[in-house]
Structure 1
Amino acid sequence: MANKAKHLAEELSRQGPHRVLRGDLALVGLPGVVLTPTSGLGLPAVAFAHGWLQPPVRYRGLLRHLASWGFVVAAPGTQVGPLASHRLFAADLSTALDVCTGVRLGDGAISVDPAKLGLAGHSVGGGVAVLAAAEDSRVRAVATLAATQTKPFSTDAASRCGMPALHLAAGRDQIAPAVGHAGLIASNWAGEARLRTVTKATHLGFTEGRHWSNLLLPGSSESASQRVARILLTAFFLVHLAGDTRYEAVLDAEIKGTVIELEPALP
């Protein structure tokens, strides 16, 4: 079983079988980007929330990776300022899902199954994803990266989230301590929750490239942290949105550089 999980994790670390198209959410009135496979009907979709001060482009590799594995991925570029509204950002995530399900993408060759919707986010975007999930009954799965507290409190909203969740904490996080925000969200989660620490990750380790916010926030882009995020988020959404249970083993496997802190209880 361990060898099988290792093989599957290595498979998920590489780009998936689909070529990827990139579009602009602004065409439908919402700043941001959308990435999709070149074609496919009834696809699963994930709306992704950026971190504090971070533009969606800092997650381009992760978004493209998910799209290459068959997901429609929308990342709103709203609420990027220092005084962003978490409540409004959560509403924008739900709007992004509306766009995915209500607009035929790729010249009509791409559509989304409204029963296969997920949310994800980094930093404050992780907390915002929790807020949105607590209010949007369409959401079937949630994943967060180094999630931070929000207002309203994401730790409280977690108690109203009954869908499966995957939370990745950063072991060297100076903003959201690994056993702090993500741990509280996971422990308060109403449904099945997994929590894993990426031991050498910093708060910005999941972001890509350089940005002026690196002058204000500790940490920097880390390829190893990004690789782990791609493997685990892809496995998680393939299992819980696409229904591909082959990758369940990856979610429970030991992955180098990570520590499992919380996993679902055995039935």
Structure 2
Amino acid sequence: MTPKESELLLKSGRITSVPPDALSRTRTHAFTDVGPAGRARTLPLVVLSPGHSKPRTELTALAEDLASRGHAVAAIDHTYENVATTFPDGRVTTCVTCELSKTPEWWAKLTGGRAADVSFVLDQLLAPRPKWKGARLIDPSRVAMAGHSVGGASAIATMLTDSRVRAGINMDGTTEIRIPDGGLSRPVLLLGKPATYTPGKGEAAATWERDWKQLTGWKRWLLVTGTAHTSFTDLGLLMDQLGIDDGSELPGDRAMDITRAYVGAFFDLHLRNRPQPLLDRPSSRHPEVEHCSPETRTCR
């Protein structure tokens, strides 16, 4: 993040206990302007979409892990939906949508806009003359998407409008755009927190139950005990380090380990055809993760 992005994100969360540029000085395992490795048209592509008002950088730890597994990763800043988006010329746009009143219809419209953003990015990356010099490495037949919150809901919305996206993950996102009666046959993973998405409990869970009936292909509904909304992103990890309570009972580093494990397994299965028993049954290595059945409204 730039110092300005850090300042505006911390300000939006009313966090004043650390210097405003703290997040711009957070070290990661990634470097800029490094030549990508791989042979032409061999790398699966995963598109990542953050939550509303959040920057793409909240998904850095997940992006790094996916890259380490041999995926190309494109994380998107959705302009005017983020507290701060910095353009190459230094111009910074802020969050126009943050000031608007929110209804289910509004969220559905936003999700549709996100889907259009993703399709635009794919157009740029997969064109005969792509905008990124490393795009020649991407295998256009192996494209998938994951997102957090409305970014997760947008993964399903994108799959409905763009057949290039072969598989999708919704991390803790309530869905407002309905899957048509014809259903969606491509793989979908629903990954969330029990407080909101336990089958049969609440309006948010009801949107997943509605979608579940229309998902006609491979699908899983997994809940991670002790998590909060931020647990599936870098923000849960950072708030632990800053001593800020985000409502999670699960340590941020553990939540990130679980998120990486299950997201990575999903894409290894559906983009690389590598069997992943982790996704088929409860795991003794990850006892926090419950496999849910909305038909019986049970999780185990």
Structure 1 residues 158 and 141: CA distance shift in structure 2, 3 A: farther
Counterpart check, 1:206 vs 2:232:
yes
Structure 1 residues 65 and 203: CA distance shift in structure 2, 3 A: same
Structure 1 residues 130 and 96: CA distance shift in structure 2, 3 A: same
Aligned pairs for 1:207-246 (under 5 A) are: 207-209=233-235, 219=247, 222-245=252-275
Counterpart check, 1:261 vs 2:292:
yes
Give distance in 2, aligned partners of 1:181 and 1:188: 11
What is the Cα deviation at residue 188 of structure 1? 2.7
Assess if the C-alpha contact under 8 Å between 2:224 and 2:290 holds in 1.
Answer: yes
Assess if the C-alpha contact under 8 Å between 1:49 and 1:126 holds in 2.
Answer: yes
Assess if the C-alpha contact under 8 Å between 1:51 and 1:122 holds in 2.
Answer: yes
Counterpart position of 1:39: 38
Assess if the C-alpha contact under 8 Å between 1:160 and 1:189 holds in 2.
Answer: yes
Aligned pairs for 1:98-137 (under 5 A) are: 98-102=123-127, 103=130, 105=132, 107-108=133-134, 110-137=136-163
What is the Cα deviation at residue 36 of structure 1? 9.0
Structure 1 residues 111 and 77: CA distance shift in structure 2, 3 A: same
Give distance in 2, aligned partners of 1:158 and 1:55: 34
Structure 1 residues 62 and 177: CA distance shift in structure 2, 3 A: farther
Aligned pairs for 1:75-224 (under 5 A) are: 75-78=75-78, 79-80=81-82, 81-82=97-98, 83=100, 85-102=110-127, 103=130, 105=132, 107-108=133-134, 110-150=136-176, 153=177, 155-156=178-179, 160-173=183-196, 179-209=205-235, 219=247, 222-224=252-254
SS at match of 2:46: strand
Assess if the C-alpha contact under 8 Å between 1:104 and 1:111 holds in 2.
Answer: no
Give distance in 2, aligned partners of 1:44 and 1:54: 25
Report sequence identity in percent.
27
Give distance in 2, aligned partners of 1:118 and 1:149: 18
Query: TM-score, normalised on structure 1?
Result: 0.72
Say which structure is richer in strand: 1
Assess if the C-alpha contact under 8 Å between 1:36 and 1:67 holds in 2.
Answer: no
What is the Cα deviation at residue 178 of structure 1? 7.2
Amino acid at match of 2:188: A
Give distance in 2, aligned partners of 1:257 and 1:158: 34
Gaps of 5+ in 2: 1-28, 83-96, 101-106, 240-244, 295-300
Deviations 1:3-29 (A, max 9, x none): xxxxxxxxxxxxxxxx96656xxxxxx
SS at match of 1:168: strand
What is the Cα deviation at residue 108 of structure 1? 4.8
Query: TM-score, normalised on structure 2?
Result: 0.65
Give distance in 1, aligned partners of 2:153 and 2:186: 15
Amino acid at match of 2:189: L
Assess if the C-alpha contact under 8 Å between 2:152 and 2:172 holds in 1.
Answer: yes
Counterpart position of 1:10: none
Deviations 1:159-203 (A, max 9, x none): 6421011111211349x8774433433333132211111121111
Give distance in 1, aligned partners of 2:180 and 2:145: 14
Counterpart position of 2:94: none
Higher RCO, 1 or 2 (CA under 8 Å, sep at least 6)?
1
Gaps of 5+ in 1: 1-18, 24-34, 212-216
Give distance in 2, aligned partners of 1:21 and 1:94: 26
SS at match of 1:156: coil
Structure 1 residues 262 and 43: CA distance shift in structure 2, 3 A: farther
Amino acid at match of 2:164: R
Deviations 1:57-104 (A, max 9, x none): 111000111111011111110132425822221111122223332337
